[in-house]
Structure 1
């Protein structure tokens, strides 16, 4: 393996790139594209350790680290490993899934406002979950969070909505603009269906459904973490394997075809992986808003690339959701759903994107 001298792209504003060679295989990279995810990973581990130690029974960070490796007293190990670690694991996995999903969709649609929320995937998941809660009764459905009831229904609803999106948006391929328009329409229809289901439900059932619709990590455990981890082991490598395809798709269909990309098949693969990640994330923790919208744009600004980097966006999503859950549990007077905190962070950012886009269009 050899490292060659830095190379520069023809554009004067481009950042310097270095070449990495491993035998006959070579690739280029930027130092920031490697340094940023490493830094985010370190921050994620630190925030996770702090979150594991905060609660009614405070535990210091060194004691948390000791408990994770099998040291410390039995009480600390039980609290860290059995009570708090599952919730943190779900937060990390859900944030990772939403970050990668948002990066895929924004690259494909070439639109910083695109996200699984806009495409209606979360709306379809909400229909499935609310239908189970209303049909089974609030107490039964909430208890099913520890099993397969609500998560399975949410996953099924998200995948069915994805199928509708494909069917309505497909026309000799998928155009990003048409996909977003179809998604907005289906998302509005899904919200109407959810509202109807809530009006037909009992008061207690509606309250239980509203807690889930806000997006929450309360009561989440290994039953939600394990299926999500298995899904990510399959979907995240599939997303990373499409890096070259994404590099071509960001410049438009014609350019991608000229570079040898089979555009319809590539578009189908990208959107399938993206909606799969979003559906599994929503099935585990509910429709947590704005994570998939915000972190890809933060990632592309931190790394200085031409499109949202998948790995950095995933790690930033995990960091944002873990930090938001820490704030929701400890800094607020009551235990708020984590979706409330992410909405407080994401809504101003969405407004900023809209204002920024409007100013550019008037220049």
Structure 2
């Protein structure tokens, strides 16, 4: 189906549109559930009354100062992870080509960890450290992988190696940090949404509002690259230039997510694949991938909070699900073919 607005025309797939609407409604529903801290604190009716402007001062503090920033951060981080995962899996033409396996997520975590434990947040802001770490790791991986062209299989293998090195560097920094910095960094490296406030929501919201639409605008180029470099060049695409832009957008999205919630596992790996299944698409749809990412992270955070009373970080839940999912994915032969 083609939608035309004056001189502009956009091709819209009906199933993807329906899936996107359902996922958006599910995101809203989970957001409302996330605003409820549990019956031991306040009832669901009290949450609705507070949203309607009829809650008490204490209820407003719970909903607007505690629950809502955490829920909105989960949505933003989930969308960033889902979109970045779709970009990297399409560029590598492999469902295992997620940023956490390629080393980009770990690179962002290394930069953020460096600013937290070695230099101090006053010397280097955490967001800048995460962005710098992601950019440097991406540059190294890209440079080592490039040999008369970029082969997806080579990129994945180099990324796995760099990821292992960066994990060792992260462990070294934690082991040499003082006790309180090391404990804080170790908790952050698991991936957590605890204690998130409006100071976390605003930068995530701004970054997602800018980066996700920019990435979606490069969707046609991404789909052509996913068909193969030769075919893309035959269609007149400047492959290397578009790949560089998409890599930059993906790194920026990953850095945003890592700064806000730490290196949360699983979401960027699974969201694009699940979106592809739901939409029955030959490619990894960007908008559904972003929404699936938001659903996965919100649902995992709600499960973690309800099961343990906010004692279990969301990264533990997503890591557990990710291990099961990865074992199932590797067990299938078809997705591993180029």
Q: 1:198 aligns to what?
A: 174
Whether the aligned pair in 2 keeps the contact of 1:105 and 1:116 (CA below 8 Å) is yes
Q: Which of the numbers 227, 230, 235 marks the counterpart of 2:206?
A: 230
Shift of residue 127 of structure 1? 2.0
Q: 2:99 aligns to what?
A: 116
Whether the aligned pair in 2 keeps the contact of 1:67 and 1:81 (CA below 8 Å) is no
C-alpha distance in structure 2 between counterparts of 1:52 and 1:174, whole Å: 45
Q: 1:269 aligns to what?
A: 245
Q: 1:336 aligns to what?
A: 312
Which has more radius of gyration?
1
Whether the aligned pair in 2 keeps the contact of 1:155 and 1:282 (CA below 8 Å) is no
Alignment length, in residue pairs? 336
Bigger drift between 219-228 and 301-310 goes to 219-228
Q: 1:31 aligns to what?
A: 14
- Equivalent positions of 1:1-363 (< 5 A) are 18-23=1-6, 25-55=8-38, 56-60=40-44, 62-135=45-118, 149-171=125-147, 173-332=149-308, 335-357=311-333
C-alpha distance in structure 2 between counterparts of 1:148 and 1:131, whole Å: 9
When the two structures are superposed, what TM-score results if normalisation uses the length of structure 1?
0.85
Secondary structure (helix, strand or coil) at the match of 1:90 reads helix
Q: Deviating runs (4+, > 6 A) in structure 1?
A: 358-361
Q: Deviations over 1:56-115 (max 9, x none)?
A: 52231x543443353433332221112211111111100000000000111111100011
When the two structures are superposed, what TM-score results if normalisation uses the length of structure 2?
0.91
Whether the aligned pair in 2 keeps the contact of 1:328 and 1:338 (CA below 8 Å) is yes
Shift of residue 261 of structure 1? 0.8
Q: Judging changes above 3 Å, is the alpha-carbon distance between structure 1 residues 175 and 326 closer, same or farther for their aligned structure 2 residues?
A: same
Q: Judging changes above 3 Å, is the alpha-carbon distance between structure 1 residues 230 and 19 closer, same or farther for their aligned structure 2 residues?
A: closer
Whether the aligned pair in 2 keeps the contact of 1:59 and 1:76 (CA below 8 Å) is no
Secondary structure (helix, strand or coil) at the match of 1:20 reads strand
Secondary structure (helix, strand or coil) at the match of 2:236 reads coil
Secondary structure (helix, strand or coil) at the match of 1:336 reads coil
Q: 1:9 aligns to what?
A: none
Shift of residue 245 of structure 1? 0.6
| Structure 1: stretches of 5+ with no match in the other structure | 1-17
Shift of residue 300 of structure 1? 0.3
| Structure 2: stretches of 5+ with no match in the other structure | none
C-alpha distance in structure 1 between counterparts of 2:22 and 2:99, whole Å: 27
Bigger drift between 159-168 and 307-316 goes to 159-168
C-alpha distance in structure 1 between counterparts of 2:148 and 2:43, whole Å: 57
Q: Judging changes above 3 Å, is the alpha-carbon distance between structure 1 residues 359 and 117 closer, same or farther for their aligned structure 2 residues?
A: closer
The RMSD of aligned alpha carbons is 2.4
